[in-house]
Amino acid sequence: MAVAVAAAAQDKIDLDTLYRIKQEAIQNSKVMDNLFYLTDVHGPRLAGSPRYKTGADWAIKTLKEWGIDNARTETWGEFGKGWENKKYSVAMTEPAYMPLIGAPQAWTASTEGVITSEAMIAPLRTEEDLAKWKGKLAGKIVLVDQPREIALHEKADGSRYTDAQLAEIAMAQLSPMFRRMQAPGQPPINFVQMMAFRRKLNDFLRDEKVGLVISNGRGDFGTYFTSNGGSRNPKDPQSPPTIAVTAEHYNRMYRLLEKQIPVKIEAEIKNEWYEPDVNNFNIVGEIPGTGKHKDEIVMIGGHFDTWHAGTGATDNSAGSAVMMEVMRILKKLNIKLDRTVRIGLWDAEEEGLLGSRGYVTKHFADRTNMKTLPEWDKLSAYYNVDNGGGKIRGIYLQGNEMCRPIFEQWLAAFKDLGVTTVTARNTSGTDHQSFDAVGLPGFQFIQEPLEYDTRTHHTNMDVYDRVPREDMIQMATIVTSLVVQTANREEKLPRKPKPEPRPAGGFGGF
């Protein structure tokens, strides 16, 4: 029992400080101001694009104004070509005028000025399809996907966790987590084969000099999901002009064409390309610790890059805005911090956690050989926000059971704010994994799902209005408090055993 009591004493929550944090976070909140600048003014921020750079200038200037030390860019490596959409004007003009809700896929080419042509359906799913259509697509505007049935939204698009769902998340996972990539009754997707065919298809469409490829974007109700449609590798040729449009518009054109009714389209797309920069960068800044552990570090962060169709509000301007707000509150209240607190806003998460991985390799350890650097011994914990604008309901331990009693005690102070769940489970898909991969305590929070999967994550509707203010204030309050507890704890947070080296995988890169 002696050990437990000692742990309990050391992990007592500092209620006076918590009170001050809550007051500042609620009454003087700047979190939605941050979000406004990151979305309406400086969104979207595709990695490697000029807008990523101007957004970073704003973030650094703002952190400096708040008195954050050493707010600056820090290079992590080479990303490839930059790309930005400068014009999108696509409409069906016959049999009736209908502007198409859509956007180009990232890293695809511009159209040759304004093009006007009849659209055609050209299903291109197999090698035989390619052979069949060879020589027939020059200058054509082609619909390459199947139409998609649009179901009634009987369930609300947005949701918050019920107690039962949180209880489920709290239960340990006994089998390794895997994402269900296979539709029921369908053969499993072979990604290697799929990628190889996609490359062949791109080459085919380029060689055919197709005018414009129209794909049926995932989503409905005018919402469509975007990603990349071509390569940013300077060695690769450009992919043909390709857009994703909302399913309802796609389906209309498809039905007309199936009935042999001509569909005429006028399109002009201008995408700008930028030479590869070897100095792609993250944003960092810190508040130096003043105690006996001032050479040790607590880190917070989230990715700063976004996709390009919306303004990247929930993914991940929300996380960036919250983490900036945490730094502002800490500095404004002049909270005594034993350890140094550092913020990292990461580049190129969307292309495979590239910015955070580069940072971790430069500062902590190379996961391919697990050779550690001095800062590896100095980091207590890294906290990440990147699951949308929904408030925090708990934390994923990433299997680090040793941290459970600590977080349970710290988070108990936030029951009234809805934080109830500490789970041993892993969550994946964002930058805490870069830390976790080298044996550092890296955590992502359990956040309310809201409309993240249904409406905002990587869509044209990922915009400011989809982020609730109260949720953002709650996040800033809780992360600030956890940071203070972590910075002032007698010991660093416990770690899992140091992992074995892992060979560099195909994840990320080009």
Q: How far is the CB of 49 from Zn ion (least distance, A)?
A: 16
Phi-psi category of 183—alpha, beta or left, where left has phi over 0 and alpha has psi -120 to 50?
beta
- Minimum Å gap between C-beta 319 and Zn ion is 7
CB of 349 to Zn ion, least distance (A): 6
Neighbouring residues of 341: CB distance < 8 A, sequence distance ≥ 6? 286, 287, 289, 297, 298, 299, 300, 327, 330, 483, 487
Closer residue to Zn ion in complex, CB, 315/338: 315
**Binding residues for Zn ion, how many (CB under 5 A)?**
3
Is the CB of 216 or the CB of 430 nearer to Zn ion?
430
Per CB under 5 A, 208 contacts Zn ion: no
Tell which residue, 213, 220, 211, has the closest CA to residue 252: 220
Least separation in angstroms between CB 447 and Zn ion: 12
Closer residue to Zn ion in complex, CB, 309/365 = 309
Residue 431 binding Zn ion, by CB under 5 A = no
Q: How far is the CB of 311 from Zn ion (least distance, A)?
A: 14
- Between 145 and 350, name the residue whose CB sits nearer to Zn ion: 350
CB 252 within 8 A of CB 98: yes
Residues 133-162 that bind Zn ion (CB under 5 A): none
Nearer CB in complex with Zn ion: 347/386: 386
Which residues, at least 6 apart from 93, have a Cβ–Cβ distance to it below 8 Å?
A: 116, 264, 265, 266
Considering only residues 363 to 392 of the shown chain, the ones binding Zn ion according to CB under 5 A are 386
Q: Residue 235 class from Cβ within 10 Å (0-12 exposed, 13-18 middle, 19+ buried)?
A: exposed
As measured in angstroms, the least distance from the Cβ of 345 to Zn ion is 12
Q: Taking the CB of residue 181, how many other CB atoms lie within 10 A of it? A: 9
What is the smallest separation between the CB atom of 431 and Zn ion, expressed in angstroms?
8
Nearer to Zn ion, 432 or 489 (CB): 432
Tell me how far the alpha carbon of residue 36 is from its chain's centroid: 18
Which CB, 254 or 346, lies closer to Zn ion? Answer: 346
Q: Which stretch binds Zn ion (CB under 5 A): 179-187, 309-317, 403-411, 433-441?
A: 309-317
Q: Is 316 in the site for Zn ion (CB under 5 A)?
A: yes
What whole-number distance in Å separates Cα of residue 13 and Cα of residue 23?
16
Binds Zn ion by CB under 5 A, chosen from 315, 347, 451, 471: 315
Q: What is the DSSP string of 130-196?
A: HHHHTTS-BT-EEE-SPP-------S-S-B---HHHHHHHHSPPSS------S-TTSPPP-HHHHHH
Q: Please give the residue ranges that form the binding site for Zn ion (CB under 5 A).
A: 315-316, 386
